[in-house]
Amino acid sequence: MEHFQRRLLTIVTEAVLERELLAEFDALGVRGYTITDARGKGGRGRRQSDWAQEGNIRVEVVCDGPLAERVAARLRERFYDHYAMILFMQDVSVLRPDKF
Partner 1 sequence: MPTLDPVIWFFVFGLVAGAARADLRLPAAIYDFVSTLLLLAIGLKGGVELARDGGGLPLAELGGILLLGFLVPLPVFAVARHLGRLGRADAASFAAHYGSVSVATYAVVIAYLSTRGVAFEGRAPVWVVLLEVPAIVAGILLARGLSGEIAWGRLLRELFLGRSIVLLLGGLAIGWAAGPGGTASIQPLFFDLFKGILALFLLEMGLIAAAQLPTLRRHGPFIVAFGLLAPPALAVLGALLGRALGLSEGGMTVLATLAASASYIAAPAAIRTAVPEANPALPLTAALAVTFPFNIIVGIPLYERLAGALAG
End-to-end CA distance of the chain: 17
Neighbours of 91 (CB within 10 A): 9
Q: Provide, rounded to whole angstroms, the least separation between the CB of residue 88 and partner 1.
A: 22
- Residues 4 and 7: their CA atoms lie apart, in Å, by 10
Q: List residues near partner 1 by CB under 8 A.
A: 14, 16-17, 19-20, 45, 48-54, 79, 81-83
Comparing CB distances to partner 1, the nearer of 44 and 99 is: 44
The least CB distance from residue 62 to partner 1, in Å, is 27
- Within 10 Å of residue 30's Cβ, how many Cβ atoms? 20
With respect to partner 1, which residue has the nearer C-beta, 51 or 96? 51
Question: Cα Rg for the chain, rounded, in angstroms?
Answer: 14
Nearer to partner 1, 19 or 96 (CB): 19
